[in-house]
Amino acid sequence: MTATSTKETHAFQTEVKQLLDLMIHSLYSNKEIFLRELISNASDAADKLRFEATTDDALFEGDSDLHVFIDVDKDNRTITVRDNGIGMNRDEVIDNIGTIARSGTKEFFGQLSGDQEKDAHLIGQFGVGFYSSFLVADKVTLITRRAGLEKEHGVRWESTGDGEYELETVEKETRGTEITLHLREEADEFLDTWRLKSIIHKYADHIPFPIRMMGTPVPAAEGEEEKPAEIETVNQASALWTRPKSELTDEDYNNFYKHIGHDFEDPLAWLHQKLEGKYEYTLLLYLPRHAPFDLWQAEAKHGVKLYVRRVFIMEASEDLLPRYLRFVRGVMDTNDLPLNVSREILQQSPAMDAMKKGATKRVLGMLEDMAKNAGEAGEDDTVNTDYADFWSEFGNCLKEGIIEDFANRERIAKLLRFSSTESDEQSVSLSQYVERMKEGQDTIYFITAETLAAAKHSPHLEVFRKKGIEVLLLSDRIDEWLTSHLTEFDGKKLQSIAKGELDLSGIGENAEEAKKAQEEKAKAAEPAVKKIRESLGDKVKDVRVTDRLTESPACLVSDQFDMSSNMERILKQAGQDVPDMKPILEINPDHELVQRLAKMRSKDKINDFSSILFDQAILAEGALPEDPAGFVRKINALLKL
């Protein structure tokens, strides 16, 4: 290879500098993963070439033997990982190596704390790929040429990880990429071919392309010349998902997950099934243990790859699994689609529709099995927390399924978990709630708030605590949308305790007596209601007596079909226009402040007391009064009395 242009020096993107600094300072104790990452990238490059060559055979350039070759040079202390895959052109090298072309990188690096254990986990979820080379190398040289380009369009990239890299155009006879690692002094162990082979067996046995190395030279017999070493294939080079489950170990499944998920931890669970019927396809799907950092970004890729007859076709498509299951990683392989399948063909394909439905059904089944075993003690007496771990990472994704997937809404609803007045942990299922309902109760009660603390201390809960009625505490933003779509479960209506009128008279007491007592209280409080209504004017839709409260003087309630105050806050924070909806102020006729207000005659005092009651109710909702300073002034005046 000879240079045909002048070298150029470029500065790394700021985020790359941060990542390299963490790498070079040995963030990971498990440095051997550099080889797994480079082989994984080489395998992806071979996959992409094989797919593109289905419509342009010339890209093979007369060589369709796709493979990865690893060469060790002990004298020069280098390891070279070489593939004959798709390769890169100059722009792709700059985009893929000089920058981290992923959205949210600044937010990601903002999460790094300097705590090595925590940061290692975060970077594992971010995916480092090529940059893991600097775990063992103090200089990395990459030479590549994209398939289909002439030999003079090769690109040479080199860096010592010091914040800059050199780039030049070179001649490269063959397509693909070779990466040469100039090893650090402390990385001598990786010059041992047996060590490298053991890493390949551990992490890359399942790669569907041969991984080749030079074998051990055959000792010569006396009087004969030493025979040269032969090239040998180190891995099994067969697609793991095509092999019978009986041949595979947990370690095989875990290592394959780490390859496709670019993860550093074992998965939480997996399923491997070959489905036969009108359409035949194989699924190997995994649940990660932790959420990737970009899970909530709209442009984030999904993690399932589609293969047709073991040829990689595409990944990151909602045609493979619905968006609310975007956390799933794995592969789907079928013989019932053409190799030159396009997005349009996928969307119109009955086979693809059947595969998507089948995969969705089985992922939900896997979650149901996990949920069923939750809390059980194993042979070592440890409690199974797999479903709780899953829910803490991906529960809000599953809530999206209630909104998006009407066909599976009932199954998804059974998988939901919430906090409640019985448990701060998000561990209460709707089925458990129904089992614990009081005699005479036919409604599932919930409250939405900005935080769990705000929900837990809401005055709306007072009468429910008094009667011992459980209330679900919902504090995730998506819960507002969830409850607008999930209006019933197991024949029981879901109702917000902060919307509409409330009737608990039939639960735990004589309904007629309770109704009569409430009517008497309402009649006695009419003077207070009238004065507050006149004082507040158009600040409220109405003022009325409530039986929700036992300790607080007042609370705000939304009308049955109005937007909740929490939803109104969420939309305003997102910069959305919100219709002007007035709340209803409900007052506690037994509270001393309300009773004192009923006897007042001074208009100024009535206005101050009414304003205080209204602003207190706003504060209890987790919001601020319109005039906080005025509220404080009125409270101070009240304290003087």
Domains and CATH numbers, the chain: 8-218+227-233 (3.30.565.10), 240-372 (3.30.230.80), 511-640 (1.20.120.790)
Q: What DSSP character marks residue 76?
A: T
Q: What b/e string do you get for 22-61 counting C-beta neighbours within 10 Å, with b at 16 or more?
A: bbbeebbeebbbbbbbbbbbbbbbbbebbbebeeeeebbb
Name the residue with higher pLDDT: 108 or 570: 570
Cα–Cα separations (whole angstroms), residue 27 to 99, 100, 354: 20, 19, 44
Can you read off the two tokens belonging to residue 42?
Answer: 């080489």
pLDDT value for 42: 92
Name the residue with higher pLDDT: 172 or 559: 172
Can you read off the two tokens belonging to residue 274?
Answer: 């070959």
Q: Which of 45-49, 118-122, 619-623 has the lowest mean pLDDT?
A: 118-122
Stretch 88-114: mean pLDDT, rounded?
A: 65
180 near 140, Cβ under 8 Å?
yes
pLDDT value for 111: 58
Cα–Cα separations (whole angstroms), residue 146 to 40, 88, 247, 279, 473: 18, 4, 37, 36, 55
3-state SS track over 183-243? ECHHHHHHHCHHHHHHHHHHHCCCCCCCEEEECCCECCCCCCCCECCCEEECCCCCCHHHC
pLDDT value for 307: 86
pLDDT value for 101: 41
Beta carbons within 10 angstroms of residue 98's beta carbon: 18
pLDDT of 635 higher than 90? no
- Could you tell me where the DSSP H helices lie in 498-548? 511-524, 526-536
Stretch 81-96: mean pLDDT, rounded?
A: 92
pLDDT of 323 higher than 60? yes
pLDDT of 598 higher than 60? yes
- The per-residue pLDDT of the chain, averaged, comes to 85
Q: Is the dihedral of CA 240, 241, 247, 252 positive or negative?
A: positive
**From CA 116, how far away is CA 393, in angstroms rounded?**
21
Name the residue with higher pLDDT: 114 or 441: 441
One-character DSSP codes across 358-388: HHHHHHHHHHHHHHHTTT-B-TTS-B--HHH
pTM score, whole prediction: 0.75
Stretch 189-217: mean pLDDT, rounded?
A: 88
Can you read off the two tokens belonging to residue 396?
Answer: 């809000």
pLDDT value for 189: 94
Cα–Cα separations (whole angstroms), residue 247 to 240, 244, 250, 334: 10, 6, 10, 21
Stretch 79-92: mean pLDDT, rounded?
A: 95
Q: Which of 275-284, 343-352, 544-553, 618-627 has the lowest mean pLDDT?
A: 343-352
The tens digit of pLDDT for each residue in 580-592 reads 788 999 999 989 8
The tens digit of pLDDT for each residue in 445-484 reads 999 998 899 899 999 999 999 889 999 999 999 999 999 9
**From CA 395, how far away is CA 387, in angstroms rounded?**
10
Paired with 155 in beta bridges are 144, 169
